Amino acid sequence: MKFGVLQFPGSCDEVDALAAARLVGEAELIWHGERDLQGADAIIVPGGFSYGDYLRAGAIARFAPAMESVIDFAREGGPVLGICNGFQVLCEARLLPGALLVNANRRFTFRQLQLEVVNADTTFTRACTEGERLSIPAKHAWGRYYADERTLAAMRDKGQVVLRYAPGQSFNGSLHDIAGVCNEAGNVFGLMPHPEHAVDELTGESLDGLKIFESMRLAVDGAPA
Amino acid sequence: MTAAASTAPTLQDALALGLTAEEYELVCEKQGAPPNVLELAMYSLLWSEHCAYKHSKKLLRTLPTEGRHVVMGPGENAGAVDVGNGLACAFKVESHNHPSAVEPFQGAATGVGGILRDIFAIGARPIAVLDSLRFGEPAGESATRTRYLLDGAVSGIGHYGNSIGVPTIGGEVYFEGPYEHNCLVNAMALGLGERERLVRSAAAGTGNVLVLFGAATGRDGIGGASVLASAELDAGDTSSGGDSDKRPTVQVGDPFEEKKLLECSLQLLARDLIVSLQDLGAAGLTSSAAEMASKGEVGIEIDVAKVPLREAGMEPFEVMVSESQERMLCVVEPANVAAVLALCERWEVNGAAIGRVTDTGRVRVLAGDEQVGDMPVRALVDDCPLYDLAPQKPASPIYPPPPRTLHADATIRDTLLALLACPNIASRRPLFEQYDAIVQSRTVRRPEQADAAVLALADGSALAVSIDCNGRRVAADPYTGTVQTVLECAANLACAGAEPLGTTNNLNFGNPEKPHIAWQLTEAVRGLGDACRALQAPIVGGNVSLYNEGATGPIYPTPVIGMVGRMPDARAAGRLGFGRAGDEIALVGPFAPSLAASELAKLRGQALPDGLARVDVAAVHAAQVAVREAVRAGALSSAHDIAEGGLAIALAECCLAGGVGARVELGDLSGRAAEALFGEAPGGFVVSASADALSELERSAPVHRLGTVGGDSLQLSMAGGAEASGDAGGATGERVSVSLEELARAHARLAELFS
């Protein structure tokens, strides 16, 4: 399978996401100004500070030509993963419900965190088991997940809350400790922590992040090779 | 000619810009006439301490700059060392002290921006940032100002590094009274590039075009190099004026603009579109253009009317001296200009052809058709007079003793916890958690996991980096204190398993025109040279920051040292925390602890001693080599260098980092408990390993077995501790036991500063 990793001016973790995706499949960068998704089977919107995060995190990136194609791709059911700034972009693009506000501690914070898999029956978590703990780092200043109560209730009912910070782990003040959510159709997923930074023995504190990429490969390719 | 430029400036104007009367006279002589406004502005900047190093250049020439790993030495935007496989690591440390004292957030942010530009200006991709910070005491009268500066500087460093996607992987911070009015913010950056493709900044090729690219030029930062960086700060704090009127001389940073500039610059180089490249830092276009011309022994012509401006109506001299951030200047063959400008457009940065390389040996400045300045390159760059220092050891102490904060009858337990909680030793987690340490996926050891930061390279090897300086020890003895600082960096590398390749330094000192500061500077540079020669870790670049004085006197002399090393196998990188219950613990190396200038002496309110014990550099070096080889061989579970707070604090740090306790037998400490437990000196390591591995290590270094790893507390047993009560060391029993939880609580005390 082939991943396409978007690259905006101001993207920071696109090379990291590219390398992580290449552990399970092929992957190429897609320049923000291009509309052609190069035949990618899945799209990753990476972390960083697209367009400097000016105006509002992710607010400008959603209008990039490449994002217009990604929105069409997602509407047709293509799998889209948004990591950190990518999650913010997907919320701004209305591909995901809710919004990300400034951290409760009001500081950029980098920490290795324990996450809990709430829903293991998704395109992005099928290599995990429900209730499993994942050790994955988070690093952001705007990661406090917010949605109104009605939306939250509907999301819970439909299994859209995919990952939660384990008790006592969240520094950002997200409602219900939500760390990652998917859309109703289940093909678009965003999370604040960085799975691409937990894929390698040498530089990761764990390999748990690989499960997200592996899940996507399973979803696209079918049964394990 | 504009109205401002038509009025010929006078000697008074020159003095106001920081030149001396003699220097002004020399400028007139070199020009053959009194300079106009623009020319005077350019001379005043290039002849400032910041640009001309006029009080330090002669000393710096004594430093060792050559070695088998050196690819690029001092004089370029950054130095570089060979790291194998055709790759070079570029690195440099620079200060942004006075801007940070005036406006800490932007001062620190643009400090990071500036050092990153130095790295990619030579064609290396920035891969890491480290920082070295100094503030006043975070408690007592200075608490408000210290917290304001600390919070602003840390946020500023994080803002820039995080946003641009370069990890901040390490650093250090000290809190001492003498930095209260003049904080220090030094930033170091590392980059990686192909050795054969690193670029120099010398302009070349008559007729080639000068292209300025990056942010538009505005009025920010005008006079930063001369007014701010080359004079003492005034008295006063942020609330009551003081230096706050200098705030407009501080530049404003935009990491997004720099991120685009970085990618654009590296692509220009990768496509061989440019001849040479230089960043715009202090003194803006003035210094960049003049230095490129000087290094290439050519002339340069610039038309200020072609410079993209952020605001209308800027005078030509303002365009030439603006310190607007995120700009680069390159020399391009005429045939490639279109391609260069097209790439700028792709990255959405301004690009403009603003001038050309000439064979005149002069810097000519035009405003459209009109010539507004014309100066010989040599006069601007090379003819600033260099001054001899008049060093004199002060007859009486310069620095007042610190206030006492540890009560006189403190026990060993009290002392251990007080040291662990004190601002210079407590965990730096509340700072480094504000930095992205892992972007770019090279970080093998994160902060507090090892004594040095470790970055993996593609071939399986790794770089290790350390930055350090204990200014109090340098103040007590500038020569020996500096030697110890260099040894400390090398010890940190050894604990990670790395061998030094090269060194960078930032000499932060007071006013060198004062004999006692000149003495500190001279002695420190002598120590730096001797230590780097002994370790074969040559100086490949650095920076000098003088005039760091406030109303209450000079800062502690602070020669910040950054050292880069390499290890063959990233997987063998050392850790500082105890890892395996049952391992034996040992003290390794020729460690001769003393309380002189120690952290405990500070808590006790003791004045600085006059001099430190001389160091047997060869013996310390041998111990470092032994530890390094043992780490590389995978023989040690942990290795940690003994620094502030001595052996007991090193043991506590090993417990905390590993999340496991230790039982330690110290033997008979009669009459010397405080020295043995809390005394400081170079050459000591705490390691943990199997008994067999320690026996092996004993063949190459002194090994003193102390106990075993295990349990959930740190237990220290000794004979003779009781008689060492009170100020002599303080113990009421012979066995001290502190739970990990209690250690952790004390160690977490810095968090209060950010609440």
The gap from C-alpha B209 to its chain's centroid, in whole angstroms, comes to 35
Give how many domains chain A has, as a whole number: 1
User: CB B439 to CB A202 under 8 A?
Assistant: no
User: CB A108 to CB B164 under 8 A?
Assistant: no
Residue A130: how many other CB atoms lie within 10 Å: 11
Q: Residue with structure tokens 């006029």?
A: B54
- Confidence category of residue B247, pLDDT binned at 50, 70, 90: low
| Stretch 260-319 of chain B: residues touching chain A, C-beta under 8 Å | 260, 263
pLDDT at residue B726 tops 60: no
Percent of chain B with pLDDT over 70: 94
- Contact with chain A for residue B433, Cβ under 8 A: yes
Give the pLDDT of residue B246. 60
Average pLDDT of the segment spanning B415-437: 97
Nearest-angstrom CA–CA distance, B108 and A40: 41
Average pLDDT of the segment spanning B436-442: 97
* Cβ pairs bridging A and B (under 8 Å): 85
Query: Which residues on A lie below 8 Å from B437 (Cβ)?
Result: 110
pLDDT at residue B251 tops 80: no
Query: Which residues on B lie below 8 Å from A10 (Cβ)?
Result: 163, 256, 259-260
| B535, B490 Cβ separation under 8 angstroms | yes
Nearest-angstrom CA–CA distance, B51 and B727: 49
Give the pLDDT of residue B228. 56
Whole-Å CA distances, B409 to A94, B559, B729, B744:
65, 35, 9, 24
Report phi then psi at B55, rounded to 5.
-100, -5
Query: So what's the ipTM on this one?
Result: 0.96
Average pLDDT of the segment spanning B468-497: 98
Give the pLDDT of residue B49. 86
Q: Which residue of A has its CA nearest to B432?
A: A110
Nearest-angstrom CA–CA distance, A24 and A218: 10
Lowest mean pLDDT among B12-16, B279-283, B306-310, B554-558: B279-283
Give the pLDDT of residue B236. 43
Beta strand spans in chain A (E): 2-7, 26-31, 42-45, 80-83, 99-101, 109-117, 133-140, 144-146, 161-165, 178-182, 188-191
- Confidence category of residue B229, pLDDT binned at 50, 70, 90: low
Exposed (0-12), middle (13-18) or buried (19+): which is B246, by Cβ within 10 Å? buried
The string of DSSP letters for B601-636 reads HHHTTPPPPS------HHHHHHHHHHHHHHHHTT-E
User: CB B571 to CB A202 under 8 A?
Assistant: yes
Average pLDDT of the segment spanning B680-684: 97
Greatest alpha-carbon pair distance for chain B in Å reads 87
Average pLDDT of the segment spanning B684-696: 98
Q: What are the tens digits of pLDDT across the range B279-292? A: 998 889 999 999 99
Give the pLDDT of residue B323. 87
Query: Which residues on A lie below 8 Å from B164 (Cβ)?
Result: 12
- Confidence category of residue B239, pLDDT binned at 50, 70, 90: very low
pLDDT at residue B728 tops 80: no
pLDDT at residue B515 tops 50: yes
Report phi then psi at B444, rounded to 5.
-90, -35
Q: What are the tens digits of pLDDT across the range B341-352? A: 999 999 999 999
Lowest mean pLDDT among B59-68, B558-567, B722-731: B722-731
Chain B nearest C-alpha distance from A104 (Å): 12
Nearest-angstrom CA–CA distance, B675 and B594: 5
Instruction: Work out the mean pLDDT of chain B and round it to a whole number.
Output: 92
Q: What are the tens digits of pLDDT across the range A47-103? A: 998 877 777 777 888 788 999 999 999 999 999 999 999 999 999 999 999 999 999
Q: Of B264, B432, B441, which to mutate for an interface test with A (greatest number of A Cβ within 10 Å)? A: B441
User: CB A9 to CB B260 under 8 A?
Assistant: yes
| Stretch 700-719 of chain B: residues touching chain A, C-beta under 8 Å | none
Average pLDDT of the segment spanning A196-212: 97
pLDDT at residue A225 tops 50: no
Residue B395: how many other CB atoms lie within 10 Å: 6
Average pLDDT of the segment spanning B250-254: 80
Q: What are the tens digits of pLDDT across the range B116-160? A: 999 999 999 999 999 999 999 999 888 999 999 999 999 999 999
pLDDT at residue B360 tops 70: yes
Q: Which residue has the higher pLDDT, B486 or B670?
A: B486
| B626, B633 Cβ separation under 8 angstroms | no
Q: Residue with structure tokens 């030029």?
A: B217
- Contact with chain A for residue B571, Cβ under 8 A: yes
Give the pLDDT of residue B539. 97
- Confidence category of residue A42, pLDDT binned at 50, 70, 90: very high
For the domain bounded by B575-755, which CATH number is listed?
Answer: 3.90.650.10
- Confidence category of residue A3, pLDDT binned at 50, 70, 90: very high
- Confidence category of residue B543, pLDDT binned at 50, 70, 90: very high
| B677, B412 Cβ separation under 8 angstroms | yes
Domain ranges for chain B: 575-755
Enter the tokens of residue B645. 């707070």
pLDDT at residue B712 tops 80: yes
**Can you give the CATH number for the domain in which A116 is found?**
3.40.50.880
Candidates B172, B189, B203; CA nearest to B360 is B203
pLDDT at residue B241 tops 50: no
pLDDT at residue B233 tops 80: no
Domain that holds residue A32: 2-221
pLDDT at residue B370 tops 70: yes
Give the list of residues 6+ apart from residue B636 with CB closer than 8 angstroms, or none. B574, B627, B630, B687, B688, B689, B693, B697
| B94, B118 Cβ separation under 8 angstroms | yes
Considering only the beta carbons, identify the residue of B162, B259, B456 that sits closest to A203: B456
Nearest-angstrom CA–CA distance, B53 and B471: 22
Residue B32: how many other CB atoms lie within 10 Å: 8
Nearest-angstrom CA–CA distance, B559 and B525: 8
Q: What are the tens digits of pLDDT across the range A118-147? A: 999 999 999 999 999 999 999 999 999 999
Give the pLDDT of residue B729. 46
Give the pLDDT of residue B753. 86
pLDDT at residue B524 tops 80: yes
Give the pLDDT of residue B242. 52
Q: What are the tens digits of pLDDT across the range A152-169? A: 999 999 999 999 999 999
pLDDT at residue B545 tops 50: yes
